[in-house]
Amino acid sequence: MSVEDTTRASGATLDEITALAKRRGFIFQSSEIYGGLAGLYDYGPLGALLKRNIKEAWWRDMVTARDDVVAFDSAVLMHPAVWKASGHVDAFVDRLVDCRVCKHRFRADHLEKPDVCPDCGSKNSFTEPRNFNLMLQTSLGPMEDSASRAYLRPETAQGIFVNFKNIYQTARKRPPFGVAQFGKAFRNEITPGNLTYRLREFEQAELEFFVPDDGADLKWFDHWVQARRKWYADYGVKPDRLRFYELSAEERPHYAKAGVDVEYLFPWGWGELESIAHRGTYDLDAHMRLSGKDLRFFDEGSKTHYTPLLIESSAGMDRTTLTMLVDAYEQEKSVDPNGKQTERVVLRFHPKIAPLQVAVFSLARNKPQLVARARSIEAALHEELRTQYDEGNIGQLYRRQDEIGTPFCVTVDYETLEDQSVTVRHRDSMRQDRVALDSLKEFLDERL
| Residue with nearest beta carbon to ligand ATP | 316
By beta-carbon proximity to ligand ATP, the closer residue of 199 and 424 is 199
By beta-carbon proximity to ligand ATP, the closer residue of 201 and 336 is 201
- Provide the pairing of β-strand 201-211 with 93-98: unpaired
By beta-carbon proximity to ligand ATP, the closer residue of 39 and 80 is 39
Shortest distance, CB of residue 179 to ligand ATP, whole angstroms? 16
By beta-carbon proximity to ligand ATP, the closer residue of 316 and 351 is 316
Q: Is 275 in the site for ligand ATP (CB under 6 A)?
A: yes
Give CA–CA dist 291/241, Å, rounded: 44
Shortest distance, CB of residue 314 to ligand ATP, whole angstroms? 4
Q: Is 287 in the site for ligand ATP (CB under 6 A)?
A: no
Q: Determine the size of the site formed for ligand ATP (CB under 6 A).
A: 16
> In sequence order, what DSSP letters do the residues of 126-170 get, joined into one string?
BPPPEEEE--EEEE-SS--SGGGEEEE-S-SHHHHHHTHHHHHHH
- Binding ligand ATP by CB under 6 A: which of 44, 159, 316, 405? 316
By beta-carbon proximity to ligand ATP, the closer residue of 199 and 225 is 199
Crossing angle, helix 45-59 and helix 317-328, to 10 degrees? 110
Centre a 10 Å sphere on the Cβ of residue 20 and count the other Cβ atoms it contains.
19
Amino acid making up residue 292: G
By beta-carbon proximity to ligand ATP, the closer residue of 199 and 237 is 199
- Binding ligand ATP by CB under 6 A: which of 53, 133, 181, 204? 204
CB 329 within 8 A of CB 322: no
The helix/strand/coil state of 111 is coil
Q: Is 228 in the site for ligand ATP (CB under 6 A)?
A: no
Q: Is 390 in the site for ligand ATP (CB under 6 A)?
A: no
Stretch that binds ligand ATP, among 207-215, 240-248, 315-323, 423-431 (CB under 6 A): 315-323
Q: Is 189 in the site for ligand ATP (CB under 6 A)?
A: yes
Shortest distance, CB of residue 88 to ligand ATP, whole angstroms? 10
Crossing angle, helix 317-328 and helix 14-23, to 10 degrees? 100
Alpha-carbon torsion 126, 129, 134, 136, what sign? negative
Give CA–CA dist 183/91, Å, rounded: 22
Cα Rg for the chain, rounded, in angstroms? 26
Give CA–CA dist 429/439, Å, rounded: 21
The helix/strand/coil state of 8 is strand
- Binding ligand ATP by CB under 6 A: which of 208, 283, 318, 413? 318
- Binding ligand ATP by CB under 6 A: which of 319, 350, 373, 427? 319
- Provide the pairing of β-strand 5-10 with 304-306: unpaired
By beta-carbon proximity to ligand ATP, the closer residue of 125 and 156 is 156
Site residues for ligand ATP, window 128-187 (CB under 6 A)? 155, 187
Centre a 10 Å sphere on the Cβ of residue 34 and count the other Cβ atoms it contains.
7
Q: Is 272 in the site for ligand ATP (CB under 6 A)?
A: yes
Crossing angle, helix 440-447 and helix 368-382, to 10 degrees? 50
Stretch that binds ligand ATP, among 46-54, 270-278, 283-291, 295-303 (CB under 6 A): 270-278
**CA 70 from centroid of its chain's CA atoms:** 21
Stretch that binds ligand ATP, among 194-202, 378-386, 403-411, 422-430 (CB under 6 A): 194-202
Shortest distance, CB of residue 155 to ligand ATP, whole angstroms? 6
By beta-carbon proximity to ligand ATP, the closer residue of 204 and 423 is 204
Shortest distance, CB of residue 66 to ligand ATP, whole angstroms? 21
Q: Half-sphere exposure (CA, 13 Å, Cβ side) for 191?
A: 16
Q: Is 61 in the site for ligand ATP (CB under 6 A)?
A: no
Alpha-carbon torsion 436, 439, 444, 447, what sign? negative
CA dihedral 231, 233, 237, 238 (to 10 degrees): 160
- Binding ligand ATP by CB under 6 A: which of 181, 314, 357, 362? 314
Shortest distance, CB of residue 319 to ligand ATP, whole angstroms? 4
- Binding ligand ATP by CB under 6 A: which of 199, 295, 324, 377? 199
**Residues near ligand ATP (CB under 6 A):** 155, 187, 189, 198-199, 202, 204, 272-275, 314-316, 318-319
